[in-house]
Structure 1
Amino acid sequence: MIEDGIKDERRPLRRIRSFVLRTGRMTKGQELAYERYWPDAGLQLADGMIDPEAVFGRRAPLVFEIGFGMGQSLLEMAQRESDKDFIGVEVHRPGVGRLLMGMGEAGLNNLRAYCDDAVEVLQQCIPDASLNRVQIYFPDPWHKKKHHKRRILQSAFVQQLRPKIAGGGMFHMATDWQAYAEHMLEVMSAAPGFTTEFTETGYAPRPDYRPITKFEKRGERLGHGVWDLLYKKTP
């Protein structure tokens, strides 16, 4: 309760989120894909901690992608790397619907999705030392200085993520905003428990497993750069 204009200090502070929830309208195809494939390929925050081997019916290296957008590059990776299992997290339902549609069309069984906040999924659903690769590609750079605190790549987030990665596992980031690349490099250079072999600049060549998106190709034509950072978790 607030009386006489005095702030109630007992009210819990809201956590700053790294995304803006844009609902968007799903196409009929996305809605049908949701109805058809979500029962088998969808994972839910409310279900709590998962057992990856039970989820996929096998034991395989596990890749975790945060913010897959419309899911095209994640689909390509799941198809190319059939020896690995993939979990993608995206808060926007149309993107999840599009991923499910593509998964169904390709007949993939090594891909699952959450439609939830990735930070909460990591905390509540992902076992420690279970991830062999974590991917964050082209996250919102939050250009304005007053919004930099909303960037997902922060020291606290990296330390929350670190226990979830298996020893020797990789953390792969990519951005097309130089200022955000520099911010990522600053955070990761100071992060305990991670190392990179690209010590000269801190930036890595694009690994072959990361597809070049249409958005990225358009940016290259306009002269935009792309920066990849590749860090290994030390045992």
Structure 2
Amino acid sequence: MPEPRTFRDEPVSFVRRSGRMSDAQERAFAELAPRYLLDVPRDVAWTSVHPDARLDPLAEYGRRADLIVEIGSGQGHAIVAAASSRPHDDFLAVEVFRAGLARTMLDAERAGARNLRLVEANAPEVLASFLPEAAAAEVWIFFPDPWHKKRHTKRRLVREGFGTTAARALRDGGVLRLATDWEDYALQMRDVLDADPLFERTFDGEWAERFDGRVMTAFERKGIAKGRDIRDLAYRRVART
């Protein structure tokens, strides 16, 4: 008799929040999902990705171009702005919040961002298997859930071992960009990535300069209004041997 499968080996770094969607957001899923939302084979959970599933960027985007992946794209403000201003690059938004995905599709449609796709999935599984190895030119992680209560910090996305997962998805010389408004999480991110032999800093001093491609969002303004400093980090994927 086969052993029963575990639901997941590690805690996920998000809380599944479908929430109530507006009529416009419901229409976005009905009308825009075929254009923007990837149909991902699932594994043991709705937000999981089957380990045999692979993104084919050439087939999906219809061309060969740099692929930029945003983990936890939220309402999509950063990635829609980037996709609409950088038509020669391709973009992939990874998010589990359905209302956020709907908003992203609506804004992408208004902006004419045809170089953007979305995937509703657990980010580590996207990085670990769904993306072909070395497919991404950049991976962005802007303001991930800080899980600030001590008993919940094990759920943080960027923790020991994360570098291996991110490095697999990045091409040699590709860049991992991060930002957070929680100091202790920023310190944890820096400690984890400084210690990872697969990455090297792209910055001098304590923190990286603000990434020009990261637009100011309402979420960031809220953190600033509460007196929290915004800290950026950027790391380059070292060459494979």
Q: Do they superpose with TM above 0.5?
A: yes
Whether 1:197 and 2:202 are equivalent positions in the alignment is yes
Letter of the structure 2 residue corresponding to residue 123 of structure 1: A
Task: Quote the residue 1:4 is aligned against.
Answer: none
Aligned to 1:52: 57
Q: Counterpart in 2 of 1:5?
A: none
Moved more, 43-52 or 134-143: 43-52
Deviation at 1:55, TM superposition (A): 0.7
1:200 CA drift (Å): 2.2
Preserved CA contact (<8 Å) 1:45 1:121:
no
| Deviation of the 1:17 alpha carbon | 0.9
Aligned-partner residue type, residue 204 of structure 2: T
SS in 1 for 2:32: helix
SS in 1 for 2:161: helix
Residues 1:226 and 2:230 are matched in the alignment: yes
Could you tell me how far apart the structure 1 residues matched to 2:40 and 2:7 are? 22
Q: CA deviation at 1:82?
A: 1.5
Structure 1 Cα separation of the partners of residues 156 and 178 of structure 2? 13
| TM-score normalized by the length of structure 2 | 0.89
Q: Deviations over 1:166-224 (max 9, x none)?
A: 011000010000010001011011111111132321x1011111111122223324432
Which range moves more in the overlay, 116-125 or 105-114? 116-125
SS in 2 for 1:195: strand
8 Å CA contact retained: 1:42, 1:113: yes
Output one character per residue of 1:142-178: Cα deviation in whole Å (capped at 9) or x when no partner.
1111111100001222211211100110000100000
Give distance in 2, aligned partners of 1:26 and 1:124: 30
Counterpart residue identity of residue 211, structure 1: V
Give, in whole Å, the separation in 1 of the partners of 2:225 and 2:184: 20
2:36 aligned residue: 41
TM-score (norm 1): 0.91
User: Aligned AA for 1:199?
Assistant: D
Q: Which amino acid aligns with 1:45?
A: V
Say whether residues 1:112 and 2:112 are aligned partners.
Answer: no
**Which residue number corresponds to residue 143 of structure 1?**
148
Cα displacement string for residues 103-152 of structure 1 (whole angstroms, at most 9, x for unaligned residues) = 11122110000111112222332000110000011011111111111000
Once residues 199 and 158 of structure 1 are traced to their aligned partners in structure 2, the CA distance between those partners, rounded to angstroms, is 20
Give % identity. Answer: 39
Question: Aligned pair 1:175/2:170, yes or no?
Answer: no
Larger radius of gyration: 1
Name the amino acid aligned to 2:139.
V
2:99 to 94, 100, 109: 94
Contact 2:163 2:198 in 1 (8 A): no
SS where residue 174 of structure 1 aligns? strand
* Superposed CA offset, 1:17-70 (max 9, x none): 111111201111111111111112111330821211111011111000110111
Whole-angstrom CA distance in 1 between matches of 2:35 and 2:133: 24
State the match for 1:209 in structure 2: 213
Structure 1: which 5+ residue stretches go unaligned? Answer: 1-8
Structure 2: state its 5+ residue gaps.
42-49
The count of aligned residue pairs is: 226
SS in 1 for 2:173: strand
